[in-house]
Structure 1
Amino acid sequence: MAGTDVAVFLSEGELHAIENTCPHQGGPLGDGKVEGDNVYCPWHGFEFDLTTGEHAHMDDMCVETYPVFVEDETVYVAVE
């Protein structure tokens, strides 16, 4: 979808694409610290799983995940 803000991460050899905006207060997840399969929002430390988009401790707070693949050395994200 045009205008979708997505963050792409390379973690442990795998690409992950998630919604770039933290649902807490809109922090840019793409600027967050990555540890394993988790990213931490740089504003308040909210932790999200890069593979599922789920928050580590709150079931009702999650971010969208998107399929990501490489073709001819170009990274593509399917946001439909």
Structure 2
Amino acid sequence: MREVAIGAADSLEEGQRKLAFVDGRSVVVFNVAGQLRAIENSCPHNGASLANGRLDGSVLTCPAHGLRFDLRTGRMPGAGALCLSVLPVRIVEGQLMIALDTA
């Protein structure tokens, strides 16, 4: 894995999100109650963008079909089988860093 900087950490306040394009991939980083959560910007159901989905606590609703995903786990609440592609994110020297699989 390698890490890529996507901007200043202080640019993402609690409740906000940031869309970034990294190596041809669309990624969204959310600040959920002070915790950073990063996902690929693609619903596992049909590939719809999740960047503008409604966020209720840690649950993100896909704007295309209303599927809901918990950003803490990437999974649908309850018995849902679909799962988001979750990416490791952290702050290093004031920068938001996304970890990408290099395989």
> TM-score w.r.t. structure 2 length?
0.68
The one-character-per-residue Cα deviations of 1:16-70 (angstroms, maximum 9, x if unpaired) are 0012100222221111111111111111211011111101245321111111011
Aligned residue in 1 for 2:33: 12
What 5-or-longer segments of structure 1 have no aligned partner? none
Deviating runs (4+, > 4 A) in structure 1? none
Structure ID, larger Rg: 2
Note the aligned Cα RMSD (angstroms): 1.7
What 5-or-longer segments of structure 2 have no aligned partner? 2-22
Q: 1:3 aligns with which of 10, 19, 24?
A: 24
Identity of matched residues, %: 39
SS in 2 for 1:51: coil
Where in structure 2 are the equivalents of 1:8-47 lying within 5 Å? Answer: 8-47=29-68
> TM-score w.r.t. structure 1 length?
0.85
Q: Distance in 1 between matches of 2:94 and 2:61?
A: 28
